[in-house]
């Protein structure tokens, strides 16, 4: 005999659990989704806004030839302003290049020591130290270039001015090294322990394990670390502004002052009238910087993902 409890709701609504909590759940789901896609919105927003501000220049004064191939950056020349970024690109490239020569061997060496040789307390404290080094603000690095490295270079190499490629390159190298060390150490950590155990079981020494097993397996991750370091050096602004000497110049030696793309924007944006060709030209440099760093980051990501899948 089937008895119906009068307090029990009809069967149909039992399955329809759309009460208050259900609606709250859906609203929250929508809100966090919006937050989730905010990074995409911002990246597109950055590109749209800097393109919008630089658009007038791109339409009127921009000449592909002049912009990329002329070494003359003379935007405030009253008769014939010239907007060539070749010397600025050379400045950025020389400083970043030297920084990488300084930073790559040391950061990879440090990553191998911290990740593979050091153990226990030593390892933990080295990791903390590297993390703290990465936190020093770029304006402080620039100040160090200006006030400590500058007289040091003048003394050591007997040159009149110590603000040059060498100064900025070393400063930038010291800045990029801790970041590259952390990322490279992560890449080493991503190599499964069973690889090491297998090699050790065959009688390999620690170095043989690293050289023959760990490094080949972590190759892509290490390359990604180097690329991210390059991207970081390329986009660094304050340190480069303060330590390069800030002279538009294609460098012939380590002791020549140069000027970087980023530093040009930082130094000149404040002096230009909103909407003037000079102002728009600075935004065009911004578009160029954005595209280059986007490509570097994309490549680094694709390389690192490559190993995860394989």
Partner 1 sequence: MFAESSLNVRNKRIQNLFRILFLIMTILLIIPVVAILATLIAKGGSIISIDFLFTHPTNGMTAGGIFPALLGTVWIVAVALLASVPLGVAAAIYLNEYAGDNWFTRIIQLAIINLAGVPSIVHALFGVGAFVIFFGFGTSILAAGLTLAIMTLPVVIVSTRESLRAVPQAFREACWNMGATRWQTIRRVVLPNAVSGILTGVILEVSRTAGETAPIMFTGAVFFLPFLPQGVFDQTMALSLHLFVIATQVPGVPENLPFGVALVLIAMVLLMNSISIAFRMYLRGKKKW
Q: What is the closest distance, in whole angstroms, from the C-beta atom of residue 3 to partner 1 in the complex?
A: 26
Which residues touch 63 (CB under 8 Å, ≥6 apart)? none
Task: Give the HSE-up count for residue 1: Cα atoms under 13 Å, Cβ half-sphere.
Answer: 2
For the segment 9-38, give every residue that binds partner 1 (CB under 8 A). Answer: 21-22, 24-25, 28-29, 31-38
Interface residue with partner 1, options 151, 208, 212, 253 (CB under 8 A)? 208
Which is nearer to partner 1, 4 or 232 (by Cβ)?
232
Give residues 153-192 in contact with partner 1 (rule: CB under 8 A). 174, 177-178, 181
- In 3D space, the residue among 211, 180, 179, 176 whose CA is nearest the CA of residue 195 turns out to be 211
Q: Residue count at the site for partner 1 (CB under 8 A)?
A: 87
Cβ 97 to partner 1 shortest distance, Å:
17
Query: What is the dihedral sign for C-alpha 154, 159, 160, 162?
Result: negative
Closer residue to partner 1, CB minimum distance, 107 or 249? 107
Q: Which is nearer to partner 1, 80 or 247 (CB)?
A: 247
How many angstroms separate the CA atoms of 214 and 233, rounded? 27
> Which residues from 60-99 bind partner 1, rule CB under 8 A?
none
Does 40 help bind partner 1 (rule: CB under 8 A)?
yes
Only one of the segments 49-57, 61-69, 79-87, 192-200 lies at the binding site for partner 1 (rule: CB under 8 A); that segment is 49-57
Return the residue of 90, 100, 144, 199 that touches partner 1, per CB under 8 A: 144
List the one residue from 168, 225, 242, 281 that touches partner 1 (CB under 8 A). Answer: 242
When binding is defined by CB under 8 A, the residue of 98, 100, 112, 188 that contacts partner 1 is 112
Considering only residues 261-280, where is the footprint of partner 1 by CB under 8 A? Answer: 262, 265-266, 269-270, 274
Q: Which stretch binds partner 1 (CB under 8 A): 60-68, 153-161, 214-222, 291-299?
A: 291-299
**Closer of 40 and 201 to partner 1 (Cβ):** 40
- Between 87 and 209, name the residue whose CB sits nearer to partner 1: 209
Cα distances (angstroms) measured from residue 90 to each of 12, 65, 73, 109, 145 = 73, 16, 12, 29, 20
Report, in Å, the least distance between residue 71 CB and partner 1: 21
């Amino acid at each position: 005999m089937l008895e119906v409890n009068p307090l029990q709701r009809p069967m149909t609504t039992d399955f329809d659990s759309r009460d208050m909590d259900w609606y709250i759940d859906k609203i929250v789901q929508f809100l966090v989704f919006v937050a989730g896609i905010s990074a995409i919105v911002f990246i597109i927003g950055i590109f749209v806004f800097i393109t919008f501000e630089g658009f007038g220049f791109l339409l009127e004064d921009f000449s592909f030839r002049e912009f990329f191939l002329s070494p003359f950056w003379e935007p405030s020349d009253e008769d014939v302003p010239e907007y060539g970024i070749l010397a600025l690109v050379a400045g950025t490239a020389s400083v970043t290049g030297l920084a990488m020569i300084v930073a790559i061997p040391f950061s990879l060496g440090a990553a191998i020591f911290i990740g593979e040789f050091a153990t226990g307390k030593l390892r933990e404290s080295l990791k903390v130290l590297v993390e703290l080094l990465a936190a020093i603000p770029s304006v402080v690095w620039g100040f160090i270039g200006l006030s400590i490295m500058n007289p040091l270079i003048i003394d050591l190499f007997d040159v009149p001015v110590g603000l040059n490629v060498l100064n900025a390159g070393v400063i930038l190298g010291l800045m990029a090294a801790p970041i590259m060390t952390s990322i490279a150490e992560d890449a080493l950590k991503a190599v499964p322990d069973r690889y090491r155990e297998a090699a050790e079981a065959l009688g390999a020494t620690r170095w043989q394990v690293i050289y023959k097993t760990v490094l080949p397996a972590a190759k892509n991750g290490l390359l990604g670390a180097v690329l991210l370091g390059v991207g970081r050096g390329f986009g660094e602004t304050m340190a480069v502004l303060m330590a390069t000497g800030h002279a538009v110049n294609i460098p012939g030696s380590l002791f020549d002052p140069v000027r970087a793309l980023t530093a040009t924007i930082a130094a000149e944006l404040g002096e230009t009238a909103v909407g003037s060709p000079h102002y728009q030209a600075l935004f065009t440099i911004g578009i160029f910087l954005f595209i280059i760093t986007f490509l570097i980051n994309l490549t680094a990501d694709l390389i690192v993902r490559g190993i995860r899948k394989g």
